[in-house]
Amino acid sequence: MPKLVKTATEFELSPTLGMNEEVKRQRGAGKQVMHMGFGEGPFPVPERLKKALGENVHRKEYLPTVGMEQLRTVVADYYKKKIGLDTDKFDVIVASGSKLILYALQMAVEGDLLMPVPSWVSYAPQAKMLNTKVIKVPTTLDDKGFHIDPTQLRALIKSSRKEGLNPSKIILNYPSNPTGLTIPENELKEIARVCVEEDILIISDEIYGFVSFDNKYRSIAHYAPTHTAVTSGLSKHLSLGGWRVGVGFIPKAVTGLQQLLSNISSETWSCVPAPIQQAVVAAYEGHADVEQHIQQCSDIHSLMNKYIAKGLRDLGVKAPEPQGAFYNYPDFDAHRADLAKFGVKTSKELSEMLLKNYALATLPGTAFGAAPDVLTLRLSGCDYDGAAALKAYQSGEKLDEAFINKNAPRVKASIETFGQFLKDAKQAKAA
């Protein structure tokens, strides 16, 4: 029989996608499951974009591998006006999701990957697929954000080089999946300085940039335009994950990088489907109705995830206040003794027990690079009817706990379930 390549046996189905499929399977079998295991935006497609897609459904031609010129131009203009990015210093690429741009960038730049921990589930597997070493970068999480100490980062780069490794690229994600936290602006400046001086390419995963709860879009590309490639797309702030549209800003200062990415595209995904590319032009033209939709969805994301954090803190769980994205990354260490006597000593055991015994789907911290005994979970606050919630908000309903009780009962039930779980663990200790 054919022998599989070694890297194919070193990782499994993406934990996020795997958990989503498992929840769908259980719900399809009639089981009531609370779903905090997958970050899929729940909101409907804006009418303008539905109309644009319908008008272009007849398009069937191949388009340029880096994306059609009209779309790349409107994307560049949008980021220049919206966040003040000097897009003249970048080339734009359009791909079938930002995940492919992340992978292509890892493929295109030789050397080893610096990866903050925790990080999104796909960064490390992509590196393994490319036979690239992963160098874990320590972080600190608190109510002020997601922190990477620039002095420690420089020291790690230098020590890794002394050990024979070749750190050449770092992936940053902010607001962050899994933490829901962002990197403070002043710290982005310092990280940028270190990366420029050490000649490290920054791959800045800004897919949640427009889901920032203080309405400030942060980009390290402002501070290191020669050393930063930005990836983003429509899957988060417009709930269009299934459309598979990713955009990237590729630094012109890295000679040949855009052409190499085009070459990689030509041998893999070829191009984003023509009807989709034509339709999403409207998403980047700055129309007032689309921009209002983005803001309203972000407001609801803020409510849901801050509610989850408060509910967990009320249960004695460490849960920093979310600053963006769809997530919480709570630490159950304060309950470690109770959980141990309840048969839970790792984040994987914690996640498995919640799903099996409490019908609550979560993801363990190990999926995001944490050590097994670190009792963290990644929780997504998207398990509600987004169309109904958006309509309620637009009709004037106040974004408060009553809104959640009415429009997101499974989110409320999830917190109540955590409460019951921790109560059961405490009683197990007493027994």
- The residues pairing with 135 across neighbouring beta strands, listed in sequence order, are 114
Q: What is the pLDDT of residues 162-190, one digit of tens each?
A: 999 999 999 999 999 999 999 999 999 99
- In contact, 228 and 251? CB cutoff 8 Å: yes
User: Is the per-residue pLDDT at 5 higher than 80?
Assistant: no
Q: Which of 12-21, 237-246, 336-345, 404-413 has the lowest mean pLDDT?
A: 12-21
Q: Rg (Cα) of the chain, in Å, rounded? A: 22
Which residue type is seen at 325?
A
Q: Give Cα separations from 308 to 302, 316, 359, 365 (angstroms).
A: 10, 13, 17, 17
Confidence band, pLDDT 50/70/90 cuts, at residue 11: low
Q: DSSP 3-state assignment of 317? A: coil
Q: Verify cis geometry, omega within 30 degrees of 0, for the bond prior to 44.
A: no
Q: Verify cis geometry, omega within 30 degrees of 0, for the bond prior to 118.
A: yes
Structural domain spans, the chain = 6-44+289-430, 56-287
Q: Which of 319, 379, 284, 311 lies closest to 68, judged by CA?
A: 284
A 10 A CB-CB count for 402 gives: 10
DSSP secondary structure, 143-179, as one string: TTEEE--HHHHHHHHHHHHHTT--EEEEEEESS-TTT
Q: What is the pLDDT of residues 334-368, one digit of tens each?
A: 999 999 999 999 999 999 999 999 999 999 999 99
- In contact, 295 and 384? CB cutoff 8 Å: no
Residue with tokens 């085009």: 262
For residues 129-143, one letter each, b for 16 or more C-beta atoms within 10 angstroms of the residue's C-beta and e for the rest, the string is: beebebbbbebebee
Q: What is the pLDDT of residues 226-284, one digit of tens each?
A: 999 999 999 999 999 999 999 999 999 999 999 999 999 999 999 999 999 999 999 99
User: Is the per-residue pLDDT at 431 higher than 60?
Assistant: no
A 10 A CB-CB count for 217 gives: 17
Q: Which has more pLDDT, 131 or 4?
A: 131
Q: What is the pLDDT of residues 27-73, one digit of tens each?
A: 888 888 889 988 889 999 999 999 999 999 999 999 999 999 999 99
- CATH level 3 topology of 6-44+289-430: Aspartate Aminotransferase, domain 1 (3.90.1150)
Quick one: tokens of 51? 């109309």
DSSP H helices in 359-400: 386-394
Q: What percent of the chain has pLDDT over 90?
A: 90
The Cα–Cα gap between 112 and 203 comes to 13
The Cα–Cα gap between 67 and 88 comes to 17
State the pLDDT at residue 8. Answer: 61
Taken in order 153, 218, 183, 293, is the CA torsion positive or negative?
negative
State the pLDDT at residue 65. Answer: 95
A 10 A CB-CB count for 69 gives: 11
Q: What is the mean pLDDT of residues 301-328?
A: 97
Same topology, domains 6-44+289-430 and 56-287? Answer is: no
User: Helix 257-266 vs helix 98-108: angle between axes, to the nearest 10 degrees?
Assistant: 120
Q: What rounded mean pLDDT belongs to the chain?
A: 95
Phi, psi at 183, each rounded to 5°: -90, 125
The Cα–Cα gap between 120 and 38 comes to 12
DSSP secondary structure, 120-136, as one string: -TTHHHHHHHTT--EEE
State the pLDDT at residue 13. Answer: 63
CATH number of 56-287: 3.40.640.10
User: Is the per-residue pLDDT at 9 higher than 80?
Assistant: no
- In contact, 96 and 307? CB cutoff 8 Å: no
State the pLDDT at residue 429. Answer: 63
Confidence band, pLDDT 50/70/90 cuts, at residue 24: confident
The Cα–Cα gap between 339 and 332 comes to 9
- The residues pairing with 246 across neighbouring beta strands, listed in sequence order, are 95, 233
State the pLDDT at residue 224. Answer: 98
Q: If you ran DSSP here, which 8-state letter would residue 281 be given?
A: G
User: Is the per-residue pLDDT at 82 higher than 60?
Assistant: yes
- Counting DSSP H helices and E strands in the chain, the numbers are 15, 14
pTM here is: 0.94
The Cα–Cα gap between 153 and 156 comes to 5
- In contact, 283 and 234? CB cutoff 8 Å: yes
State the pLDDT at residue 430. Answer: 54
Residue with tokens 């997958």: 38
